[in-house]
A and B are shown apart, each in its own frame.
Chain A
């Protein structure tokens, strides 16, 4: 938003550890503790800025890459209604990417830098989008589980200490709930359908369940950034807390569908009212994150291809704007 004004702030502003620096840092933390919002031109510790740039840009990339697995089914949606809904959902995800890139830009990184990082493969995005959508039921499972997990992650970020991120998140959360409901509706239609359709729904749940609960990130004992992020109020709940909440609300929904969550250890613990679940295979998560998931290469190739294909449009628009500007200058 006001990116151009930020160049002079941040890293070079103050020598690290100077008394002035730590006084500013204490003031900053006091504002965060008092639930005040931090705005782009306010002083902030460089590590806060870098953490946010990393998190918001990864989040933006996830929305953009996230359009691919579902976009895969737009031309083959079973009815016109489903097709219109899917187009609207995928378009929303593109919009979410735009809100988030804008929010990240207020911290002093350019859109172009972020896109370059994504296309170069140096930026991370949510591991979930490196799984394929094999059948129509996957579109249902993605809406229900992946958007469901995303909502669980995103709602607390609406109260994030950084104003532009929090505001983008409010807008996103308002739009997400239809995503999850349309997914569940697809699953419901299949679950109430023929034996073959029920099997499709079950198969999709089998493949998406574990990747979905991995979306909350490594377990709290392994998570590197959690404590600091919570102090800065970028994060409000730990990964494990959110994962538990998600499983607690999703397990009864699966039951309603008459589908079985692929975890033999999953059961409701009467004492605590929570669902206990089996061990997560973190080696799979790490492999996907490191680029070895089923679709990592395909996803990046699709993004690179789209970007290259749009090159002439960007050039033409820039040339047109330049010509108009020159004409206006001449007429004046």
Chain B
């Protein structure tokens, strides 16, 4: 048996105005075929109006072991959220 075709990650824009979202992956010999396979596999019920395919090997992912180092520093910065600030109820439009 020959080698598997390359793997592509599939992203769908479900409606115009929304962002593309990852939905899964397909194997295909090239990008054009990946789009066609993605259409058959992931949009049989009008799930989207636009498709992106990206070679899986081109995706760089953050390391789960570094998740704390990367995302923890944001945890104690509650002052980045509007609810952190106490404003009297009488003050409107703020």
| Interface pair A92/B44, CB less than 8 Å apart | yes
User: A325 to nearest B CB, angstroms?
Assistant: 8
| Interface pair A324/B9, CB less than 8 Å apart | no
Which residues of the partner chain A approach B30 to less than 8 Å between Cβ atoms? Answer: 317, 320-321, 324
Which residues of the partner chain B approach A317 to less than 8 Å between Cβ atoms? Answer: 5, 29-30, 33
Interface on chain A toward B: helix, strand, loop, or mixed SS?
helix
B47-63 interface code vs A (CB 8 A; 1 in, 0 out): 00000000011010101
| Interface pair A112/B41, CB less than 8 Å apart | no
| Interface pair A112/B61, CB less than 8 Å apart | no
Cβ of A138 under 8 Å from chain B: no
Stretch at the interface among A70-78, A97-105, A154-162, A289-297: A97-105
**A55-114 interface (Cβ within 8 A of B):** 88, 91-92, 95, 98-99, 102, 105, 110-112
| Cross-interface CB contact of B9 among A1, A168, A318, A320, cutoff 8 Å | A1
| Interface pair A102/B44, CB less than 8 Å apart | no
Cβ of B72 under 8 Å from chain A: no
User: A23 to nearest B CB, angstroms?
Assistant: 14
Cβ-closest chain B residue relative to A103:
B24
| Interface pair B44/A112, CB less than 8 Å apart | no
Interface size class of chain B, counting residues whose CB lies under 8 Å from the partner chain = 20 to 34
Which residues of the partner chain B approach A91 to less than 8 Å between Cβ atoms? Answer: 40, 44
| Cross-interface CB contact of B41 among A3, A98, A105, cutoff 8 Å | A98
Given contacts A91-B44, A317-B29, contact A112 B57 (CB under 8 A): no
User: A300 to nearest B CB, angstroms?
Assistant: 16
User: B4 to nearest A CB, angstroms?
Assistant: 5
Given contacts A3-B56, A95-B44, contact A105 B29 (CB under 8 A): no
Cβ of B3 under 8 Å from chain A: yes
| Cross-interface CB contact of B56 among A1, A115, A171, A324, cutoff 8 Å | A1
Given contacts A41-B63, A95-B44, contact A112 B1 (CB under 8 A): yes
| Interface pair A5/B61, CB less than 8 Å apart | yes
Cβ of B13 under 8 Å from chain A: no
| Interface pair A99/B41, CB less than 8 Å apart | yes
User: A246 to nearest B CB, angstroms?
Assistant: 26
| Interface pair A41/B61, CB less than 8 Å apart | yes
Given contacts A1-B56, A39-B64, A95-B44, 7 further A-B contacts (CB under 8 A): A1-B7, A1-B24, A95-B41, A95-B42, A102-B25, A317-B30, A324-B30
6 intermolecular pairs with C-beta atoms under 8 Å apart:
A2-B61, A3-B56, A91-B40, A171-B24, A318-B5, A320-B29
